[in-house]
Chain A
C-alpha cells in the first residue's frame, strides 16, 4: 500500500511504557494505513492500544514513561518519528488534527470557545481580527452550532455535551488538516447526539475531502461510518479489511467474538454472548497469538507462533495461527 493514494502508513509500530522497572507493551507491531479521502476505523476493547497508536501518530506519547521502540509512521512520505519537536508542531493541528473523547475535559474551562477556536487558527496562520472572527463563525456554522454569534462568548461548561464535541471538531477543522484522528469522539455522548456527531463527521469528511482515522470500541459506529476497519487486540492488528467483508465474514476468532457479543433482535430475551476473560495484563510480551488464552478455537500451536496475515483478497486479512495452519495444510 505504498502508492501515492496513501496518506498515512503506520508500519510495525511498537510502543512500550516503563512502570516500576517493567515494560508494558501497549502497541506491539501494529500496522495500518489511511488513504486519501478514506475513513478508517480502529476497533477493539479498552486497553488494546488504540489510543496509544493515535497519540504516537501525533507525537504525543509521553516519554518517559512511554517510548516508541520500533516502527515507522509515514505521513505523505515523511517519517513523523524522525521529525524534531518544532517540525512536529507544524504537523500537529495543521496537517493532522485530533478530536478527543471527553469534550469537556479537552476544552480549557477558563476560555470562551471563540478564543479557543481562534487560537487553533492563529497558531498556524496570522489573520486580521475581522477575518479571524469570520473564520471562527464559519467554522461554528460548519459544525452546526445554532446562533454562532452568541456562542462565541460561551464558556465550555455553558454548552451541552454534543455542542462541546462540535466545538472540538471545529477546532480540529480550523487549519483544514488532511487527516483527522477521532479518538472515541462519541463515547461520552448519548445515542441521539452520537448519531448527529457521526453524521457531522461524515458530511465534513465528504465536503472537505479529508481522511478520517476513527478509533472506537463501538461496532455499530464502525458499520455506519467506516470504509475499512482494523481490529486491534493487545497492541496487534488481528484482522483488517473493508467493512462489509469483515462484518459479513469475520475470520479471526476475536472479530467473531466481538460481532457475536452485539445485541441482536433475532435473539431477543436471550442472554448476551461475551468473550470470556479480559484483555491480558500488558506486562511482558506474549509469544504466540495474544488472543490465545481467551480464544474458543485455540489449538496447541497458538501458544507458540503468531503468523503473518492471511489474505482473502480485497485487503481482507487476518492473523490467526489456526487459520494459517489450516491454509498451509490445504
Chain B
C-alpha cells in the first residue's frame, strides 16, 4: 500500500502484497521441493487408490479376490507361489492364478485380506480423525472465541446434570431421567430468574444462581488437560472392552480420545484471530457469533489443523492396528492389517510373510502420512517461505 498509485489497476498487480496472491502456488512449489514429503504424498495417493480398489475387489457376492475363502489344502503357501489346480475346486482357484502375498494358516489369500484391511485402515483413519477434528474445532472455537466469558452457576449445573444424566441413563435409566428432570426444573428457574433480573430488589436466589463461576476457556481447556492425562491407549482398551466389538465403535472411540490436539491448535489460532479487525468488522455488519466463528474465523485457522489431521490419521491407523493385534479390534472374519499381523505371529518362523507384509504395510502408510504432514507444515509456514 506504500507504493505510489498513479495507475491503480496496473500497480495492484505488482504490489508487495501480491506476493500473498501466490501463496497457494508457492506453498505447492515449496512442498514439491521437499522430496521426502512428496514421496509421502504419492504413497498416500497410492494407498488411497489401493484401498478403494480393494473395497471393490473384495466385496460383493462373488468377489474377484475373496478374503474369507478357506482352502485348508493350500495353507501357509509362501508369496509368489502358484495354486495347485488339482487340489482345488474350480471356484476356489484365485482369479490371479498366483498367491502374490502367500496364504495364511487357513489357506486364505493374504493379498485379498490385505486389500480388505486397507479399506478398514483408511476408513478408521479418516472417520476417527474426522470425529476428532469436528469435536476439536467446535470446542477449540468456543474456547478461543468466548474465552473469558464466565458461565453462571445455573448454566454450569444444568450442563452437568444433562451430561451426567445422559451418561448414567446408559446403566440406570431411572437416575438418568431423574437428573434430566432436575435439569429441566433448573432451566425453568433460570428463565424466570432472567425475567426478574431487571427488577429492583431481586430475591436472594436470583443472585445465587447468577454467580459467575469458571470461564468457558477454563472449562474446555481443563477438560483437554484431563483427557490428555489419561494414557489414551488404555482408555481405548477399556472402552472397547465394555462396548460391543464393531468397527464403528472403534472409529468413534479413537476419534473421541484424540480431539485434544486439534482443540488446542484451534483455540490458539482463535485467540489471535479474535483480535483481528475483520472479526470486529464482521460483528459490525450484524453477523451472529456462529457465523463469525465457523464462516469467518475457521477458514483462517485451518492450516495447523490440516497438519495435525494428516499425522492424526497415521496414529489412528496405528491405534486400530494395535487394538486388532491385541484382539480388541475389528471382529473376525473381517480382515484388518492388525489382525492379520496378530494371526500371523504364531507362525512367525514358518511363515514370516504373515507378519512382515502387514507390518511393512502399516509402517509405510504411517510413515508416509507423517512425512506428508511434516511437508505440509513446512509448506504452510510463512517464515520458511521467506527464507526460501
B286 adjacent to chain A (CB < 8 Å):
yes
Contact of B287 among A123, A158, A168 (CB under 8 A): A123
Chain B: CB-nearest residue to A192: B5
Q: For the complex, what is the distance from the CA of A100 to the CA of B277, rounded to whole Å?
A: 8
Contact of B18 among A123, A158, A188 (CB under 8 A): A158
Which of B11, B148, B284, B299 has the most chain A CB atoms closer than 10 A to its own CB?
B284
Report B1-38 residues with CB < 8 Å from chain A CB.
Answer: 1-2, 4-5, 8-9, 11-12, 15, 17-18, 20-21
A157 in contact with B1 (CB, 8 Å): no
Residues of B within 8 A of A102 (CB): 277
A40 adjacent to chain B (CB < 8 Å):
no
Report A147-168 residues with CB < 8 Å from chain B CB.
Answer: 155, 157-163, 168
Residues of A within 8 A of B8 (CB): 146, 160, 162-163
Chain A: CB-nearest residue to B10: A160
A189 in contact with B1 (CB, 8 Å): yes
Contact of B5 among A64, A100, A158, A193 (CB under 8 A): A193
Report A82-133 residues with CB < 8 Å from chain B CB.
Answer: 89-94, 97-98, 100-102, 104-111, 119-120, 123-124
A58 adjacent to chain B (CB < 8 Å):
yes
Interface size class of A (residues with CB under 8 A): 35 or more
Q: For the complex, what is the distance from the CA of A108 to the CA of B279, rounded to whole Å?
A: 8
- The number of residues on chain B lying at the interface, defined by a beta carbon within 8 Å of a beta carbon of chain A, is 31
B1 in contact with A161 (CB, 8 Å): yes
Per-residue interface assignment for chain A, residues 52 to 94, with 1 indicating a CB less than 8 Å from any chain B CB and 0 otherwise: 0001001010001000000000000000000000000111111
Given A100-B277, A157-B17, residue A108 in contact with residue B12 (CB < 8 A): no
B5 in contact with A93 (CB, 8 Å): no
Residues of A within 8 A of B11 (CB): 160
Q: For the complex, what is the distance from the CA of A317 to the CA of B299, rounded to whole Å?
A: 50
Contact of A146 among B5, B9, B17 (CB under 8 A): B9
A3 adjacent to chain B (CB < 8 Å):
no
Per-residue interface assignment for chain B, residues 263 to 297, with 1 indicating a CB less than 8 Å from any chain A CB and 0 otherwise: 00000000000001110111111111001000110
A190 adjacent to chain B (CB < 8 Å):
yes
B300 adjacent to chain A (CB < 8 Å):
yes
Chain A: CB-nearest residue to B295: A119
B286 to chain A, nearest CB (A): 3
A302 adjacent to chain B (CB < 8 Å):
no
Per-residue interface assignment for chain A, residues 37 to 57, with 1 indicating a CB less than 8 Å from any chain B CB and 0 otherwise: 000000000000000000100
A155 in contact with B21 (CB, 8 Å): yes
Residues of B within 8 A of A100 (CB): 277, 280-281, 284
A158 in contact with B12 (CB, 8 Å): yes
A89 in contact with B18 (CB, 8 Å): no
A158 in contact with B21 (CB, 8 Å): yes
A60 in contact with B284 (CB, 8 Å): yes
Residues of B within 8 A of A10 (CB): none
Chain B: CB-nearest residue to A188: B1
A27 adjacent to chain B (CB < 8 Å):
no
Residues of B within 8 A of A234 (CB): none
- Known: A92-B284, A106-B278, A162-B8; 16 extra A-B contacts, CB below 8 A, are A89-B287, A93-B284, A93-B287, A100-B281, A104-B17, A105-B278, A111-B299, A119-B285, A119-B287, A123-B285, A146-B9, A161-B1, A162-B5, A174-B285, A188-B1, A190-B4
Interface residue ranges, B against A (CB under 8 Å): 1-2, 4-5, 8-9, 11-12, 15, 17-18, 20-21, 148, 276-278, 280-288, 291, 295-296, 299-300
Top-4 shortest CB links A-B: A93-B286, A161-B1, A92-B286, A105-B277
